[in-house]
Structure 1
């Protein structure tokens, strides 16, 4: 499969809404999201327009999508990255079932990693993976993410856990030489 990876634009709000609601309706993927289907389905057009435009409005967040080149550019998956100072926090990773295992996740992570590396102060990428999502955890491990030892409760089901994982980014040339 061939994909075009790009940042979401403000005019993409309807596709963004549809993809996020599909993620929340997916029984396998929904564990990865802190939002609920009902909560987001109730949001109006203005909410979705703001969310879609956040990357173009100087926000400290960017959402990348993978468009299926063989299916007229339909949205196959997405991920969002948040600028949290020295950390690029990856959230909202979702691939439609037909696109899992196709290389789309790698391409989306290439985009968020490039985004992080464009910020010289970012030293690591961070994400959380639900304990009932071993496929995602395996993928993150393959990319080099490791457990930090930190756990958090799933906000939708406090008895369940999420594992924090981190990927240290390579150090960058600062233009000065230490002596």
Structure 2
């Protein structure tokens, strides 16, 4: 079964909600997301509708989803405007369903996000990954992200700041 990656559409809020709740129910969620399944499941439909519209075209944010031939949503990654560095996008909400891990879905999501960010004129993508999340750190390193040396401290613990330079005239990886 093949998987394709695309940007969400404004009316797909029920699928966005279902995938987010699935991600938050994952055993790694406590160190991967700044939310909980209890909190997210209590949000009204209007919240999910606005969230989806804000990540659909046209927007300065974009949510990408991995969808199987059968229509099952199995992965996601979102790019937001970076709160401190306008030349970079901030990657958040990265998730791949357990049964699709190791199949290249994460690479397709991150590469699609990078291509979109480059089209928006961004020079880099950044993300934050919990210092104890070795598996995610390895995935991001393979995808071209490198530690910046910064560590953010949140209510969920300490997180490495990782950065992926995007292709430009220097020929750096997109």
Q: Partner residue of 1:176?
A: none
Q: Partner residue of 2:79?
A: 81
User: How many angstroms apart in 1 are the aligned matches of 2:93 and 2:42?
Assistant: 19
Note the residue ranges of structure 2 that are not aligned, 5 or more in a row.
Answer: none
TM-score normalised to the size of structure 2? Answer: 0.89
Note the residue ranges of structure 1 that are not aligned, 5 or more in a row.
Answer: 174-179
C-alpha root-mean-square deviation of aligned residues, in Å? 1.6
User: How many angstroms apart in 1 are the aligned matches of 2:128 and 2:54?
Assistant: 22
Superposed structure 1 runs of 4+ greater than 2 Å apart? 55-59, 170-173
Aligned length: 167
User: How many angstroms apart in 2 are the aligned matches of 1:97 and 1:56?
Assistant: 25
SS at match of 1:11: coil
Q: Partner residue of 1:167?
A: 164
User: How many angstroms apart in 2 are the aligned matches of 1:143 and 1:108?
Assistant: 10
**Cα distance change of structure 1 residues 16 and 165 upon mapping to structure 2, 3 Å threshold:** same
Q: Partner residue of 1:40?
A: 40
SS at match of 1:147: strand
**Cα distance change of structure 1 residues 43 and 58 upon mapping to structure 2, 3 Å threshold:** same
Kindly state the Cα deviation for residue 57 of structure 1 after the two structures are TM-superposed.
5.6
User: How many angstroms apart in 2 are the aligned matches of 1:24 and 1:130?
Assistant: 15
**Cα distance change of structure 1 residues 17 and 63 upon mapping to structure 2, 3 Å threshold:** same
